[in-house]
Amino acid sequence: MLDRRRSKIVSTLSAVRGRRKKEIEAALRNVGIHPAAEWACEKWPDTSAVDKYASDEDFMIDEVISCQRKQLAEAAARRAADPVGAERERLRAQKEARDFARILQRGERKQRCKEFQKSMRCPGSSSGGQCSSTGSYTCAFVACAKCCPTYPGDCPRHKAVLA
């Protein structure tokens, strides 16, 4: 009987602990601390903070976040203390900067592509009718007889048709 109660209590506590751990993980992700930082501090999220949060209702998530940030800062200081770790940290920071720049470039490239495709929209034919390939690359680059007079590009084929 006592064993059954104990197992029920343990299972309830583990369920509460799991639920609280998920809450902490979500809060850490919202703040910008991701599992990728796990290698830096061995534990993500900090198990002692999870235990405190699970057992104490007054323990705030903000305290868990500050504990995790402190642990990450300590791990970064340990890595920076030895020369190999400092070099590794420098290379990691450079890689993160390159990745961030690549992401920005990718977004800019997509934006330019969207703007280009919007500018390629054919307003219609010279006779006032609608082009059959409106908005396609065919309309802009193949120079069909209907849309070329309305295309303001400087393509030699378009210029030849416009002239």
Residue 128 confidence (pLDDT): 47
| Stretch (H or E) spanning 13 | helix 2-31
- Pairwise pLDDT comparison (79 vs 151), residue with the higher score: 79
Residue 36 confidence (pLDDT): 57
Taking CA atoms, 139 is separated from 60, 91, 111, 116, 161, in Å, by 61, 48, 21, 13, 14
Any idea what DSSP says for residue 131? P
pLDDT tens across 104-160, in order?
999 899 888 877 766 655 555 555 455 555 444 455 444 444 445 555 555 555 555
Alpha helices (runs of H) in 42-135, residue ranges in sequence order:
47-55, 61-81, 83-119
pLDDT tens across 3-13, in order?
777 788 778 87
CA-CA distance, 162 to 121, in Å (whole number)? 18
Residue 145 confidence (pLDDT): 46
**Is the backbone of residue 42 left (phi > 0), alpha (psi -120 to 50) or beta?**
left
Peptide bond into 45 cis (omega under 30): yes
pLDDT tens across 18-72, in order?
787 777 777 777 776 666 555 455 555 566 766 776 777 777 777 777 877 887 7
